[in-house]
Chains A and B, each alone.
Chain A
Amino acid sequence: MTAARWGEVKAILASLLETDPGQRANEMERLCGSDSELRASVESLLAREQKAGALLDSVAGPVAQMRAEAAVPESIGPYKVVRQIGRGGMGVVYLGERADGQYRKQVAIKLITAAHPDKQTSRRFERERQILAQLEHPGIARLLDGGEAAGGQLYFIMEYVEGLPLLEYCSRDQLGVKGRLALFLQIADAVAYAHRRLIVHRDLKPGNVLVTAEGQAKLLDFGLGQMLDAQPGDEITQAGPAPLTPAYASPEQIRGEPYTVSGDVYSLGVILFELLAGRRPYPATTSYLDLARAICDREVPPLASAIDATIPNAALLRRELRGDLETIVAKALDKDPRRRYVTVDEFAADLRRYEEGRPVVARKPTVRYRAARLVARHRIAAPASALALLLILGFAGFGWWEARRAERRFNQVRGLAHSVMFDLYDAIVPLPGSTAARALLARRAIDYLENLSQEAGGNRSLQHEVALGYRRIGEVEGDLAESSLGKVPAALENLRKSAAILERLAASAPDDKDLGHDLVRAEVDVARAYGEAGQFDAGIAQAKRAVAMAASAAGPQSKDAVALSDVESALSAQADLFSGQKRYSEAVALRERVRELAVRVASLRQANPEAKRSVAVAAKRLGALYGVMGRTDDALREYGTARLIDEERCARNPRDMRAKIDLSFDYSDLGWFAGVRNRPEEALGFHRKALELRLQASQADPQDFRAAGGVAASMRRIGLVYRAMGKLREALDELEQAAARYSDMTHRPAADWETVEKLAQTEDDIGNTWSDLAKAAGASAAQRRKTYLAAAGAYEQARGLMASLREQGKLPKSDWPEIDGLAEKAEKARRAGQ
């Protein structure tokens, strides 16, 4: 194309782009005339309009985006931005303050600009955030909050840490080996704590560790890497793997293999190496590729040889580092993850052994090992030498191979059990009709666990892991119980196994707070499982034990939020068990204490939205109990508290669907109370508010069965209030809508017998309303007959549903008499209609 021709094409194209799409054909005709070649050129270009808009968008252009990021926003979510304090690969970090003046506390705001979340990502983000918010450790900067900023980017609110980066702190204070080791152990303990909660860091480096003036090391950005990792299914649109800092990345991470706990062990090894030797294992080269090769292939230099010879006292330092420290670091930095410390705990334990002058577990790699590595690295190229090696090594070599194989199998099993129990299970939970598959997975996981626990031997951290595994299975089986019945005893059994292991571990380490926390949780789970199984007395006894244990761990006047929460959950379990036996006065005393504790915990953890939610839940549950006992005023007071908190949560984060569902329950229960107190207008107001929230949640996720059920339940409530008011047409209208929704739900794979029963109950309500209408004054005899027949139809519908449930063996015996009751009602209405 010539410049002149392009000028022509361009002019027509520009004019068409400004023309309304409907008019374009005519305009093209007019502008191109008989020049068909011109027309073809223009058409071909015009066809790319949409694609060009998406691809060559100047606003999304890399530099324009960067400029947009550089503009400091005034506020993000409910936080006022004070100033920018940093910028990294994923986004920008600001210093911020709560904007609502609730309390003045400085926070760090991390705005993620590198990725724009879709709906699925933000839901996952929300879930992960809730998990991370529970990481409470002095060595981890707390994740306080998070959400979506006005521009759609995700943000995190983190504890603002005032301190120096790790390396800077060490060199400023000229810390010796001992001081550096002490700091490192703080870091390792924090990482180990998170690992026990199944959260890996993925980007451990000295820059992610700040040391406060008090000498406390704090890890930043825990779990963020995990949270921002690409989603399954969106590899195409998202940038490659999660970010990493090459200098601290493990060989497997460089190769792009899945990240495991072992990756954090390796990164910690690099940090320790740098802390002690003053430089990293591999020199900063001029290219990424050289570094990547070094990490994957080159032997780790001995720690002592890496120190800078020009520093004062180099010889002395070299002597200090040689030997055990060198061996420990080398084990953490092994190229083969299976030969590293299995857990960070083991790594730390070995360092402590070194400090105390006891023999360390790490061994110097033997010549044989090095030779084996050589073979492994060139596996395909060197089968002959492998054979030769085996021949040379003889039986000793054979034994060694066996041992290696056993170790490998062990680690495989461990990894598999983990993946089955957590990743896989979570992945299939949302799938409709996955109950059977979930049960199968749980069974498989138990097999693995049994194997593991037999091999765990004296390995404490592994035993801890096994215990958490049993608990997980127990929880899974408990969940299954909701949908398929009959798994309760199995759940109880596994939860008890978990508690037993933890109890044994705790007995020999009474000061281990994490362990104590997990133990209390396990005991509480066991108590609840007893309740599920109908063994209330055993449950109450168990719960009492858990309460005592938690209370003694927390101590009087405790300010330890985690310990207090433990007391809270133990008391709450005990209260539920009393309620289950209708021992309300005993339950209410406990629930009052739970509420009090929740308030105390929330005041200790001011910025934590979960803590606030706990207060709302505690108030609500206390309120419900008051309600059952007829103490309406007390009940209303508690519900008022819950409502205020939940309203605030919704206002703070309008996308928080869980807060919306929570609030909808407040409204719904308040509506019920209003109905009981004969205030129908007020009741209607509450139920409509609840319905509105549930509709929002249901629209946000049409697959959410609970939200869909909530919508139908609210409609039914509204219908019932209308019926009580005598507004029978309106009542029928709402009830029919509720029935239609329930009916739709019964066709979904996630439907269970309770959905069917609710549909039947709603049909019963409809029958009752038709009957009311028939009895109402002013109707002609013919109308009345017709109305009775309609009532009979609804009753018959309800009866049929219940009867089919009974035939399928799904209806609890206690509900069987209702079938006859419905048949009677149907018969009566039919006769009245003749």
Chain B
Amino acid sequence: MAPQDIAQLLVRVGAGDKAALDEMTPLVYEELRRLAQRLLAVERPDHTLQPTALVHEAYLRLVDQRSVDWRNRAHFLGVAATMMRRVLINHAKARNAAKREGFANAVTLDDAFGIFSTPAIDVLALNHSLEELSKLDPQQGKVVELRYFGGLSIEETAECLGISPATVKREWGTARLWLLEHMEGNPQS
């Protein structure tokens, strides 16, 4: 699916076509996944001045689409964040696989994605801890997914979950501490 198709579907979603949203969700995810794989498989378009990170394009189109109406947008942001989380996890797994094969220093796979460089944090470990947190506190888990993996602001997160920005702040602030402790292998669970 070309980015134009996504754009077209988005226009339909914007016009209130609920079916279009359902239709595009799997498509967009598939597209993101396919692009991610392609990028990993070296076929990075080699023209510098061409948008290379199509994954970003697709995602950004989704998230920053202003024409989508309020309710749909909230739904949308949620779907998009989940998709992005999966893309990131798959990417991290692929990179670890590459490392295991002894090519750790050979190449910055990160570069194919750009945005994933300097991973100060182990995404897989974070994901694992987040799964645990979600069992304990589903809403808080969702806040982290939207904020960290979806890149959403406090306000957008609040909008998406239908809670107040103050609550989002509290959930996010305390979740960070819990996650860090859990990741450091000192879970109080």
Contacts and interface: CB of A to CB of B under 8 A. Distances in A.
A367 interface: no
Interface in B90-104: 98, 101, 103
A48 B188 contact: no
Given A70-B56, A115-B118, A244-B108, A63 B151 contact: yes
Contacts of A65: 115, 151
Given A58-B172, A70-B64, A88-B48, A289 B114 contact: no
Contacts of A67: 60, 63-64, 151
Interface in A13-29: 13-14, 17
B72 interface: no
A66 B115 contact: yes
27 contacts: A14-B173, A14-B174, A17-B170, A44-B186, A46-B177, A52-B176, A52-B179, A53-B176, A56-B148, A62-B116, A63-B149, A64-B153, A86-B48, A86-B50, A87-B53, A91-B114, A108-B49, A115-B118, A165-B47, A242-B108, A255-B106, A287-B42, A288-B40, A288-B42, A288-B107, A289-B103, A292-B106
Q: Indicate the size class of the contact surface on chain A.
A: 35 or more
Given A239-B110, A239-B117, A255-B106, A45 B181 contact: yes
B159 to A, nearest CB: 15
A244 B107 contact: yes
A44 B48 contact: no
A53 B105 CA distance: 29
A90 interface: yes
Contact of B178 (A45, A70, A108, A245): A45
Contacts of A246: 42, 107
Interface in A334-358: none
Contacts of B40: 287-288
A287 B120 CA distance: 25
Interface in A226-252: 237-249
Contacts of B170: 10, 14, 17
Interface of A: 1, 3, 6-7, 10, 13-14, 17, 41, 44-46, 48-49, 51-56, 58, 60-67, 69-70, 85-91, 93, 108, 114-115, 165, 205-208, 210, 220-221, 237-249, 254-256, 284-289, 291-292
A568 B68 CA distance: 62
Mostly helix, strand, loop or mixed at chain B's interface?
loop
B105 A240 contact: yes
Contacts of B173: 13-14, 17
Contacts of B63: 67
Contact of B42 (A48, A207, A291): A291
Nearest to A71: B64
Counting from the closest, the 10 A-B pairs by CB-CB distance are A63-B151, A207-B46, A86-B49, A256-B105, A64-B151, A207-B47, A89-B111, A243-B111, A52-B176, A239-B117
Contact of A254 (B84, B106, B126): B106
Point out which of A51, A60, A62 has the most chain B C-beta atoms below 10 A from its C-beta.
A62
A284 B38 CA distance: 10
A566 B174 CA distance: 65
Contacts of B140: 10
Nearest to A110: B48
B42 A61 contact: no
B105 A208 contact: no
Contacts of B48: 86, 88, 93, 207-208, 220-221
Interface string B159-189: 0000000000010111011111100101111
A89 B180 CA distance: 29
Contacts of A248: 46
Interface in B124-174: 126, 136-137, 140, 147-153, 170, 172-174
